[in-house]
């Protein structure tokens, strides 16, 4: 088993609250004396959602992390590294910041073609509508498995280079039984977080027959896709699926053992958020237009609100107000929503910068949302944090602090990435 020590870390973000609150202990560290409190959010976030005192970002200075195999073995002060029989490979961070690998909990990266022309037209003043998905459907149906696979793997490389170590991938550009099954099968080759999104939009051949299309989605299509999927999703929005249709899709998926997540309130207010909460969805995604009732219901639920600021950037829509959500006690995640129509970025650092600049988040909150928040949105407790026993997925920034992710937008700050304990770049 390979052992690596990353030492001389100037700022380590663990996302683990103080061991004093009974969370996963950080070996040997005394976070009460080492916790960074210079971040303006520290006092506001000093009481976590579960009511524990302490810094939920779990920030340590002059720190070290020991990796054994694919897991984190120890975290603490660089001056207190335990003896390791057999030794270890030492990586000197030279004072740089280390954060958990990004968990991108929302992507659509199995598709054919692109929509650069549509983007250019939109930037010239045309309005975004959900129906643009259909042009990608035509290109995806016409692409071979090998073409889709090569494209998919290219996106994954692109994401890894930018520090993303876990990605959720949705179907939704097939919209017929055969192609949707191909998409979830291809996605399952590269991630366990596969989402069946046959209910992305009503395909052209079912125009004005949405209920009949839902029959297909929850029948033959679900039969073909459920074996390759963990999640069921629906685009609950004007121009896509109504609330009753969305309910049928989600309930059918749940009956097949899939867990629900929902696209809602992207283009306008609606009842999709309430439906997601009622059905126990892990996450409701977009949430640009939320009522006070939606926010209160989210805060009282275990459902994560996943903000997708790349969409607002690329569609010139107003950004969701993350400050309002966090202050109300909602758990907020950030994801890229990589897709050829409304958000063709795969960069979590870019989305963090947008979240800070446009959504009212502090950098610490945005990094938490892009790591631990994404893990919460996928109901995973083995990723999104740096703590003993968790997966050794880490990112070293070419910067002394995570603040640079928002402070230096567009700059390639990801210097090294470890996934499952392996230095992949």
Count of CB atoms situated within 10 Å of the CB of 33: 6
Please, which residue, 104 or 337, has the CB nearer to Zn ion? 337
Least Cβ distance, residue 94 to Zn ion (angstroms):
39
Least Cβ distance, residue 50 to Zn ion (angstroms):
29
Residue nearest to Zn ion (CB): 337
Least Cβ distance, residue 106 to Zn ion (angstroms):
6
Least Cβ distance, residue 319 to Zn ion (angstroms):
16
CA distances from 280 to 75, 262, 301, 307 (A): 34, 10, 8, 18
Closest CA to 156 of 104, 119, 232, 194: 104
Least Cβ distance, residue 166 to Zn ion (angstroms):
17
Please, which residue, 17 or 343, has the CB nearer to Zn ion? 343
Please, which residue, 81 or 355, has the CB nearer to Zn ion? 355
Helix, strand and coil percent figures for the chain, each rounded to 5: 35, 20, 40
Least Cβ distance, residue 74 to Zn ion (angstroms):
38
Helix, strand, or coil (residue 181) = helix
Please, which residue, 284 or 406, has the CB nearer to Zn ion? 284
Phi/psi of residue 41, nearest 5 degrees: -85, -10
Please, which residue, 74 or 119, has the CB nearer to Zn ion? 119
Least Cβ distance, residue 263 to Zn ion (angstroms):
5
Please, which residue, 199 or 399, has the CB nearer to Zn ion? 199
- Residues in CB range of 126: below 8 A, 6 or more apart: none
Please, which residue, 271 or 337, has the CB nearer to Zn ion? 337
What letters, b where the CB count within 10 A reaches 16 and e where it falls short, cover 167-196?
bbbbbbbbbbbebbbbbbbbbbebbebbbb
In the 8-state DSSP scheme, what is residue 396? Answer: E
Q: Give the integer Cα–Cα distance in Å for 400 and 93.
A: 10
Closest CA to 341 of 268, 266, 242: 266
Interface residues toward Zn ion, by CB under 5 A: 337
């Amino acid at each position: 088993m390979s052992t690596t020590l990353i030492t001389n870390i100037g700022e380590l973000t663990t996302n683990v609250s103080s061991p004093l609150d009974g969370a996963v202990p950080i070996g040997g560290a005394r976070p009460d004396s080492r916790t960074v409190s210079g971040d303006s959010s520290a006092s506001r976030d000093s009481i976590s959602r579960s009511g524990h005192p302490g810094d939920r970002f779990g920030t340590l200075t002059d720190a070290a992390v020991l990796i054994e195999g694919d897991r984190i073995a120890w975290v603490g002060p660089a001056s207190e590294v335990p003896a390791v029989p057999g030794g270890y490979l030492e990586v000197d961070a030279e004072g740089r910041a280390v954060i958990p690998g990004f968990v991108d909990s929302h992507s659509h990266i199995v598709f054919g073609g692109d929509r650069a022309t549509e983007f250019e037209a939109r930037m010239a003043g045309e309005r975004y509508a959900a129906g643009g998905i259909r042009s990608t459907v035509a290109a995806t149906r016409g692409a071979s498995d090998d073409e889709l696979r090569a494209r998919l793997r290219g996106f994954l490389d692109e994401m890894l280079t930018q520090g993303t170590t876990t990605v959720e991938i949705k179907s939704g550009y097939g919209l017929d039984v055969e192609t949707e099954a191909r998409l979830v099968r291809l996605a399952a080759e590269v991630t366990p977080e596969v989402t069946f999104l046959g209910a992305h939009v009503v395909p052209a051949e079912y125009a004005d027959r949405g209920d009949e299309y839902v029959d297909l989605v929850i029948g033959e299509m679900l039969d073909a896709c459920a074996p390759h999927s963990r999640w069921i999703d629906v685009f609950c929005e004007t121009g896509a699926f109504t609330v009753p249709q969305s309910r049928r899709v989600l309930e059918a998926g749940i009956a097949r053992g899939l867990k629900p997540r929902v696209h809602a309130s992207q283009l306008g207010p609606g009842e999709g958020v309430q439906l997601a909460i009622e059905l126990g969805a892990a996450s409701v995604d977009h949430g640009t237009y939320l009522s006070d009732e939606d926010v209160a219901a989210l805060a009282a639920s275990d459902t994560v609100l996943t903000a997708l600021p790349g969409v607002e950037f690329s569609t010139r829509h107003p950004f969701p107000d993350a400050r309002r959500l966090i202050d109300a006690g909602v758990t907020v995640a950030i994801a890229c929503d990589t897709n050829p129509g409304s958000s063709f970025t795969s960069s979590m650092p870019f989305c963090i910068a947008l979240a800070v600049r446009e959504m009212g988040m502090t950098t610490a909150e945005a990094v938490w949302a892009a790591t631990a928040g994404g893990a919460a949105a996928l109901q995973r407790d083995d990723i999104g944090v740096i703590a003993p026993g968790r997966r050794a997925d880490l990112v070293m920034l070419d910067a002394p602090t995570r603040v640079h992710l928002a402070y230096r937008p567009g700059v390639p700050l990801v210097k090294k990435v470890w996934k499952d304990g392996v230095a992949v770049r």
